Structure 1
């Protein structure tokens, strides 16, 4: 898991540390989603303007046949001009991420996926963008996302693929 490897590298966590925090020595995205949704070891971020580099986006499976997914946010959310699909009463935001995936986040010149070179996507670790929707007051609660910042990208409702954005809570010194 990408996020588990990042924690081990960035914080020096051992498999035991990971198990104490997340309930498994090698948690998958579904396990991270359960922990993040419960607020375990994170502060939930519920507004687009509150998103910052280092926050973690965890997508659950919901009613979708897609698997859960975890991405590390690498910068703040940027408001963008609405792209299809457009929903009344919403704003759209481009969110830069780092993740590992087998599916492109769009080979867009404006919002590139580093794994797309010459229009060819290569699976693995990289950087890209997701699109989030908020209501007009900036709240992410109750609105979904698209996998890329490209017109016509599939819109996932919170029921189909729920997500949580969390900022890790610092561990107390021992």
Structure 2
């Protein structure tokens, strides 16, 4: 189990960066705590969606039948979690929108929220657990208009490293030399950071990159100018839902 001090260090990357205020009280901190424990244990899981599913089973004792009632599947994919989060689907027998509340402003993201990227025709989607408040960074390439950029601390399960930043590191990556972007990567559950873009005036979420590394591919929420991989920051409406 991780100590409180260790958890704090994981989500406090650099003192020179601007950090947001304290997390809203209604966020499910239990989700972030369990995610960090699974990361510390280097739990082998096939996907980020499987990670969120396991967290629900571990924290609240959900069975596969319970998950089927909540999400319409005993083993939900990222696409299923996304559709629930944006209310494209609602499970029969439950009230509409009774599972997730979308968090649409960068200032309101908190530990215990769930980041879900929707699937596309060539991409299966992804799910990650937010473990702390986003931290504003000096803009890196690609720069998108006047959008602000934020480093978001997460836990996920993946076989693709979240970049090679030494400040916003993926703890599954071991560089071959200090500062090198070549090295070895351990797949499975671990801590990392993703980069979130937000409108400089309204704080609305506009896109993301997989890592906080200069030159990473920017994915927009919508439109035709940039490749699109829509994502949502979703908050459970109660802890637990059942």
TM-score scaled by structure 2? Answer: 0.67
Name structure 2 gaps, 5 residues minimum: 1-49, 88-96, 176-182, 223-227
Which is helix-richer, 1 or 2? 2
- Separation in 2, partners of 1:161, 1:15: 29
Alpha-carbon RMSD across the aligned residues, in angstroms, is 1.7
Change (3 A) 1:171 1:95: closer
Provide the C-alpha distance between the structure 1 equivalents of 2:110 and 2:51, rounded to a whole number of angstroms: 19
Instruction: Show the 5 A alignment for 1:95-174.
Output: 95-118=152-175, 119-141=183-205, 143-159=206-222, 160-170=228-238
Change (3 A) 1:13 1:74: same
Q: What is the match of residue 51 of structure 2?
A: 2
Mean CA deviation greater in 44-53 or 114-123: 114-123
SS state of the match for residue 139, structure 2?
A: coil
CA drift at 1:2: 1.1
Contact 1:62 1:162 in 2 (8 A): no
Q: Which is strand-richer, 1 or 2?
A: 1
Deviating beyond 3 angstroms after TM superposition, the runs of 4 or more aligned structure 1 residues are 171-174
Provide the residue aligned with 1:73 in structure 2. Answer: 130
CA distance in 2, matches of 1:128, 1:173: 27
Question: Which of the numbers 56, 66, 75 marks the counterpart of 2:114?
Answer: 56
- Taking the aligned partners of 1:74 and 1:156, their CA distance within structure 2 comes to 22
In the TM superposition, residue 17 of structure 1 has moved relative to its aligned partner by 1.3
The correspondence of residues 36-55 of structure 1 with structure 2, limited to 5 A, is 36-38=85-87, 39-55=97-113
Which residue is equivalent to 2:41?
A: none
* CA displacement 1:78-99 (0-9 Å, x = unmatched): 1000000001120000000001
Larger radius of gyration: 2
Seen in structure 2, the aligned counterparts of structure 1 residues 48 and 172 have a Cα distance that, compared at 3 Å, is closer
Cα shift at 1:29: 0.7
For 1:144, what is the secondary structure of its paired residue?
A: strand
Q: Which residue of 1 aligns with 2:19?
A: none
- 1:171 deviation in Å? 5.6
Alignment length (residue pairs) = 172
TM-superposition CA deviations, 1:14-52 (whole Å, max 9, x none): 111111111011111111111111145011111111110
User: Counterpart of 1:26?
Assistant: 75
In the alignment, structure 1 segments of 5+ residues that lack a partner are none
